[in-house]
A and B are shown apart, each in its own frame.
Chain A
Amino acid sequence: MLHKKQCVAMLLAGGQGSRLGVLTKNMAKPAVPFGGKYRIIDFPLSNCANSAIDTVGVLTQYRPLELNAYIGSGAPWDLDLNNGGVCVLPPYQTGASGEWYSGTANAIYQNMPFIQQYDPDYVLVLSGDHIYKMDYAAMLRYHIEKGADTTIAVRQVPWEEASRFGIMNTDEEDRILEFEEKPKQPKSNNASMGVYVFTWKVLKEYLTRDEADPNSHKDFGKNVIPAMLGDGLKMYAFSFNDYWKDVGTIESLWEANMDLLTTPLPIDLHDKKWRVFARNVGAGPQYVSETAEIDNSLISEGCEVCGKVHHSILSTGVVVEEGAEVVDSVIMPGSRICAGAKVYRAIVAENVVISENAVVGAADGDIAVVGNNTVVPQGDTVNPGEQRAAE
């Protein structure tokens, strides 16, 4: 028998992340490396750990191998517990049926027995595609103080971007009056962050009802939230205005990485009281040679830099040979930039080799992308905006 938990977190990590193109060809979006030593999922998992939410279900579906291996027992986030901890929840078969997760709401619906084991009062629903540091415990306290049925984290986005988001229209008490998914004419600029706190009893009822509706898309934003609003439930917006970045597209992933090169850091990853945890890969220290020139960059352990690195991020174990040049780029773990190669405005995924004198991207133009395990041959060119993948 498991002990009761006040709050259980459910992290939606099953999406393909198709807008990340070749980067998610063989892994789910939350497993994509970020910021030199992290993966995207480190951010919500570390937020849970730092918010004292110690029971987390991670819903996986698309290409789960990397993600499962990465999460493992949950030890890097102190989530390897006897009672609670992290649990990877893939879709499963049951006696009569068994099916893939058909939507965000359906994914949680199928795992209601997992949640029920802990008999929680509240459920926190998270997504695995944002870079941010957030105290979920503060949001939970707010939910309890307001006596809410549902609390949705919102942030103010620039008005011109508001039509890309789910927009909350609230009264002066922050009670949500209206929810519009990607409105053409937004009435407010309070965008949903895809972070929800539900009172479990209420959520259970609505998930069951939504499941029974054959016309539903089984989606929180499209179906469950509007249904709750329509019934006049107590729904509140919780404002969060610190750093938060969606990394669902090549451009935004590149930008979010580049944000780590501005001073002061928009998201403080040095904070010893709020560590962002990541799995230890046992890399040695980084070595910077006599011939290296590095400025305005973020470099991880296990790197060996002998060439020029300007305004870039090198992840664990990256090698930049003498005479190579990396500018305005993100190089993911284990890749090698050979002598004479040039990489500009690019994302180079894991274990890639950019051979001698190859050129990836250009000083301006769209981001060039090289997918995992690709070898770009000697003297070859990957154009700006091109996505190169291994055969």
Chain B
Amino acid sequence: MNDMMGLIYTTAVDSLGELTTQRGTAAVPVCARYRVIDFMLSSLVSSGARNVGIIMQKNYHSLMEHLGSGKEWDLHGKNQGLAILPPFLTRDNVGVYGGFMDAVKSNLTYLRQCRERYVLVTETGMVYSARYDDMLKQHVKTGADVTLMYTDDPGVVRSGNSGRYLDVDVSGRVKDIEVEPSLAHYRNTFMECFLIRRELLIDLVDRALARAQHHFVRDVLIGALRDGSLKVYGWHNPGKVWKLDSVQAYFNCSMDLLKPDVRKELFNTERPVWGKQRDDMPTRYSPNAVVKNSLLADGCVIEGTVENSILFRGVRVQKGAVVRNAIVLQDGYIMSNTHLECCILDKGVIVREGTKLIAPATYPTVIGKNMII
């Protein structure tokens, strides 16, 4: 048991094309049977957190439905458990959050009534699993005011110029932060996840907003590094990290799961990833099924060929269909004599007989939810 709560700030940016037109990144289905937020929730729970607040943004319907009472993550407690924090309008509140600081400000009452000493704050733009308990141990040991999680996973650094990069010295102390440079000077990517004393967070947010500062990293942290008012440390996440900032990145993340070492790390039986259950029956392979190097959830019925692909729950692949290097979300229906390659099919897509859909591996095509092609 430790003294840490979670605060998940669901990212509002819609960087995954068609996949994020109707849902935020937190609710994007990943890894055959999860949504992005399941990884943060499960890491929190397996790190001993019993209390998690989730700051919702636009398009939060899909996320609300997914979370329910929090039971799947054992977060359906009475005093503690899951608190859903959507934007709301009052005399002091403007409704839609302008950013993380606004969101915290709108939910100060919630944060004040929590009892935990520490808050683990994380965004939902990355897929990772983390031992937040180890991060907390380091945070306490170093006496840091803020501990920032970072990765040096080369896949993440390469993925575009929207990142924030940290200069961390040998003692783990953060010397400098770069925000969205066109060329990164540091190889450590900040994972939009940090640990802080709950009361300090409240205080910092309150003081910054009173001075018209609206960005936590850019205004508060960089300012504090400059004047030395906060002890900022970095915690290195040793695991695999994927930044979901493009369709290509989403595709690569999924395909990485076909590697045994990646799966072993992500689906560690001692720290299971919990997701919403749907009570599908196990997957059925017909006498004609040919499945190679693929990841499948429950409830699929396979009569055709599936190679190097990820199939979510309830996907049907009929006789004579070929699904290769593809990601098929929940309840996709691939009819007979079709050929799919390098496609991402959102939920409930139907591919009619005889259809061929072949995209280049460097530019996977997304087919929107419930489309019939």
Contacts and interface: CB of A to CB of B under 8 A. Distances in A.
Interface of A: 35-37, 75-76, 260-261, 263, 269-270, 275-278, 280-290, 292, 294-302, 309, 313-315, 317
B214 to A, nearest CB: 39
B294 interface: yes
Interface of B: 31-33, 71-72, 258, 260, 263, 266-267, 269, 272-274, 277, 279-289, 291-299, 301, 310, 314
A280 B33 contact: no
Contact of B281 (A35, A75, A263): A35
B33 A301 contact: yes
Nearest to A334: B269
Contact of A284 (B260, B273, B294, B299): B273
Contacts of B284: 261, 297-298
A289 B260 CA distance: 9
B295 A287 contact: yes
B77 to A, nearest CB: 13
B273 A282 contact: yes
A254 to B, nearest CB: 17
A282 B272 contact: yes
B281 A284 contact: no
A277 B278 CA distance: 9
23 contacts: A36-B282, A37-B281, A269-B281, A280-B274, A282-B273, A284-B32, A284-B266, A285-B295, A286-B295, A288-B295, A288-B296, A290-B293, A292-B292, A294-B285, A294-B291, A295-B286, A296-B286, A299-B285, A299-B296, A300-B283, A301-B33, A302-B267, A313-B282
A157 to B, nearest CB: 26
Contacts of A35: 281-282
Nearest to A275: B279
A329 B258 CA distance: 27
Interface majority SS on A: helix, strand, loop or mixed?
A: loop
A315 to B, nearest CB: 8
Nearest to B306: A288
Given A270-B281, A295-B287, A296-B287, A288 B31 contact: no
A278 B269 CA distance: 19
Contacts of B269: 317
A177 to B, nearest CB: 41
Contact of B263 (A37, A261, A287): A287
Contact of A286 (B260, B288, B293, B296): B296
A285 B33 contact: yes
Contact of A285 (B31, B286, B287): B31
Contacts of B285: 294-299, 309
A78 to B, nearest CB: 11
Nearest to A312: B285
A325 to B, nearest CB: 15
Contact of B272 (A36, A283, A299): A283
Given A36-B282, A75-B71, A295-B287, 9 more contacts: A270-B280, A275-B279, A280-B277, A281-B272, A284-B273, A294-B289, A300-B282, A302-B267, A314-B282
A270 B299 contact: yes
A295 B319 CA distance: 13
Nearest to A289: B293
A295 B289 contact: yes
Contacts of B33: 284-285, 301
Contacts of B266: 284
A296 B286 CA distance: 4
A290 B310 CA distance: 14
Contacts of B299: 270
A301 B297 contact: yes
B291 A292 contact: yes
A297 B283 CA distance: 8
Contacts of A300: 282-283, 298
B91 to A, nearest CB: 37
Closest 10 CB pairs of A and B: A282-B272, A284-B267, A285-B32, A36-B282, A269-B281, A300-B282, A275-B279, A280-B277, A296-B287, A288-B291
B297 A36 contact: no
B298 A37 contact: yes
A290 B295 CA distance: 11
Contacts of A282: 272-274
Contact of B283 (A263, A286, A290, A315): A286
Nearest to A269: B281
A282 B73 CA distance: 10
Nearest to B33: A285
A301 B282 contact: yes
A302 B269 CA distance: 10
Contacts of A302: 267
Nearest to A277: B279
A299 B274 contact: no
B2 to A, nearest CB: 21
A238 B274 CA distance: 42
